[in-house]
Amino acid sequence: MPRTTSSRAGTTLTWRRAALGTALLAVATLLLPAAVGAQPAPADAPRGPTPTIEPGVRAAVERGERARVIVELTAPAPALVTGRAADAAERTLDASRTGIAEALPTADAASIQTVDGWPFVAMEVSADGLAALAARPDVRSITPNGASAPSLTQSIPLIGGDDAAALGYTGAGQTVAVLDTGVQTDHPFLAGRTVAEACFTTDNGAGIVGQCPGPDVTEATGPGTGAPCPLASKCTHGTHVAGIAVGSGVGIRGVAPEANLISIQVFSRFDAGCGTESPPCVRVTDFDLIRAFAFVYDLRDTHDIASVNLSLGGFPLPSWCDFDGRKPMIDAMRAAGIATVVASGNDGAKDGIQMPACISSTISVGATDVADNVAGFSNSAPHLAMLAPGVGTNSSVPGGGFGTKSGTSMATPHVAGAFAVLAQQHPDATVDELVGLLRGTGVPVRDGANGVVTPRLALDRATRPPTFHLREPVRVLDTRDGTGSGVAAPVGPGGWVDLDVAPATGLPVGEVTSVLVNLTAVGASTPTHLTMWGAGFPEPATSSINVLGGETRANAVVARVGPDGTVRVRNNSGSVHVVVDLFGAWDAGGDAATGLRYDAARLPVRVLDTRTGTGSGAAAPIGPGGSATFDVATACPQPGAVAAVVNLTGTGAGASTHLTVHAATSPLPGTSNLNLTPGHNVPNGVTSLIGTDGKLAVFNNAGATDAVADLQGCCNATAASPEAGRFVPADPTRVLDTRTGLGTPAVGPLVGPGGLTVEVQGNHSGVPRAGIDAVVLNVTALNAAETHHLTVAPTGLSLDEVFAVLNTSVVNYEPGRATANLVIAPVGPDGKVTLGLTQGQVDVVVDVVGWLTA
């Protein structure tokens, strides 16, 4: 069944904020199930007095040329609405088209082309015609109707396609649309799976010749119309591309061998304007792509279309090109669950990617070779989305045979086919969510020419994400004595340390994707924050730990590793020593996924409180050099747990000290989990092996202090489902900041008694809306009015469950400092979590760093 509904109006999930009479009632109300409100679709953009005109269009007509242009009208798109609204939109659009035709010189008006249901008009315009268009209030933009060229048995195993197919993920029930030079649909590699065909080309009587079969050489639909274009030597490209995406044969297959195919031939014959290529050549105009997009969009309720493949393009640009006239159509398809996957280009540019891959709502793809290096011809830039194999790729060619081609054109259908495979596995996922899954599980590859790191498609990891490998804690960095850095010196302002963490994980080389560490800032000279991320990836706009001048503070951090197994720790201000203790790592997924799964507790459970004797058996602080042991195994969600994740809080310390958590039956490691000073409450997330007696121990180094531990979940060695409890890292993404209003209905602190419901799935976080057990968050409390704590819980709880949550905490904070803590939080049925506060007020920042599969 198609993933879209018959209604074209969008719906969004609303967030709620409560402030009721009492603390318990307020927070309880926030955590209980709430109705989801539908909001109307956004209104069309306001009409402007003058349209946007690309400079190239003006330059062409000033030279006396007639410019091929695409005119976007301000009229609403009838294709995006239904019923009376669609009828009204059609009338408005017709009136606008008629008015434009009447205002133009006769020759310009005679060249007009339209596309049903969409406010786009193509034409060849003179200087007088451009002036007439510029004077109209119903014209939004005028952009060039450019022409793009096609971008020219080892790849499927390399991306893990065989492993995905072995699990039954073959793209069955999904469809890939190939907009190219046409496809030989009866080729043995492709036969029997074409569900629709069409052709859209241009014939202007002046050197651009339509190539569609039948009496109308500019448009045709139905069986056979998506066949290869007539210029045989130039028209093998589409069949080759289709085979990579969905081909199926004996001993060779494409990425999604059971997916269906839509073939659309969009290339016209150009008798001139072929650049270095001898004419005639084949090119596709921007407007013919728009017509093809409209054809695909109209089929969205008939077929489950996972992706559109565009192995074509123009010149590279160093930044986003969202001025491109094709963007509105690409946006509409993305909103309908259809990914537009585009080749980055073969110019060898290392500071840009070609149009239309540079449109921000596409998924751009560069090429790697068999050694997993970025191909020299592949365009690359920081805004490139994915890499895939594109050198020496063997696939179908017209005539029933096979041939080898290289180019980003060959890389692109690998990713288009991957969307079909993942859409089969996650039929309710959005394009944003599938992009997050592909990027989060991809193999990081550094382009040696520019240093840019981009994830290379790894379908085995995407269908079977990484598992966790816990180890005895080990110190891997200490800038005080040079451990790990080689230099005994603090990190200066804006400085960083690159740390090779992979060898200490115990995993094979190249099979470490993320690490779990305890990051400690020591002796900061001024208030600052540290950020940890995979070396080579762009620095995230988030922080890992905040620290005041002179203090020592720790926080658990989950960080993706770079291509060479390193992480980077950057200091923002002043100077500070940095200590990193490694607790575990995630493997590469797929066949390498031999580690632990994570079972999130539906609700946090208090398993230790030395103030009351909970867990420890005695209501007394832990003395110097002493330990408190407590049972966790019986509170784990599943029996047989080998490790536990707790939120540990130190409170009431009589002296500066540190706490260390370890398996109760194992020796004390030479590491720490949190650092305490008198008068401060300090939290930190801790993951530890469980002792053979089912217990953990908390060791206190000096003085006397109380300790509190809330169980968040446990790790088990086996899983009923091979996909459960696996970790997918995300590009750290901020989803809430009450200081700016991000993720909340209004700017301002969270006020108790009350709570704040935060959407952590979907949204812009990249976390899928389905198949998720928990999210991994970094929660920071700051600008507090008084000492207190936050709770985090899934939405949809019963009243009894709400009261249980209120007896736990995830972040203990105090005035004058920012306190961060790593939290693994189950999500509610609506993809949200609730932050609860019983008194006072505090600003809260939430960053998503990954998620765990259900």
Catalytic residues: 180, 237, 409
Residues 6+ apart with CB under 8 A from 507: 469, 585, 587
3-state SS of the chain: helix, strand, coil percent to 5? 20, 35, 45
What is the Cα–Cα distance from 793 to 173, expressed in whole angstroms? 36
Rounded to whole angstroms, what are the CA distances from 31 to 22, 24, 416, 797, 799? 14, 11, 40, 6, 8
- Strands across the sheet containing 139-144: 52-53, 139-144, 67-73, 120-125, 113-114
Q: Give the containing element (helix H, strand E) for 589.
A: none
Residues 6+ apart with CB under 8 A from 768: 426, 429, 430, 433, 434, 436, 437, 761, 762, 851
> What is the pairing mode between strands 682-689 and 566-571?
unpaired
Token pair recorded at residue 727: 């970790």
Report residue 767: phi and psi, to 5°. -80, 125
**Chain-centroid distance, C-alpha 354:** 21
Contact 622, 686 (CB under 8 A): no
What is the Cα–Cα distance from 734 to 737, expressed in whole angstroms? 7
What is the Cα–Cα distance from 505 to 499, expressed in whole angstroms? 13
Contact 793, 825 (CB under 8 A): yes
What is the Cα–Cα distance from 92 to 95, expressed in whole angstroms? 5
Token pair recorded at residue 46: 């306001």
What is the Cα–Cα distance from 147 to 286, expressed in whole angstroms? 6
Token pair recorded at residue 157: 């195993």
What is the Cα–Cα distance from 463 to 163, expressed in whole angstroms? 9
What is the Cα–Cα distance from 273 to 688, expressed in whole angstroms? 66
What is the Cα–Cα distance from 39 to 181, expressed in whole angstroms? 42
Rounded to whole angstroms, what are the CA distances from 450 to 342, 357, 376, 487, 573? 21, 19, 11, 28, 28
Q: How many other CB atoms are found less than 10 A from the CB of residue 581?
A: 23
709 DSSP 8-state letter: E
What is the Cα–Cα distance from 708 to 811, expressed in whole angstroms? 12
- 829 burial (CB, 10 Å; 0-12 / 13-18 / 19+) is exposed
Q: Give the containing element (helix H, strand E) for 102.
A: helix 83-103
Of 693, 589, 577, nearest to 644 by C-alpha is 693
Contact 590, 458 (CB under 8 A): yes
Helices (H), 698-810: 799-805
Q: How many residues does the chain have?
A: 854
Contact 672, 729 (CB under 8 A): no
295 DSSP 8-state letter: H
CA angle (840 as vertex; 837, 846 as ends), nearest 5: 50
Q: How many other CB atoms are found less than 10 A from the CB of residue 690?
A: 23
According to DSSP, the residues that pair with 853 across neighbouring strands are: 772
> What is the pairing mode between strands 657-663 and 695-700?
antiparallel
Could you tell me how many helices (H) and strands (E) the chain has, helices first?
15, 50
Q: How many other CB atoms are found less than 10 A from the CB of residue 6?
A: 7
- The amino acid sitting at 131 is A
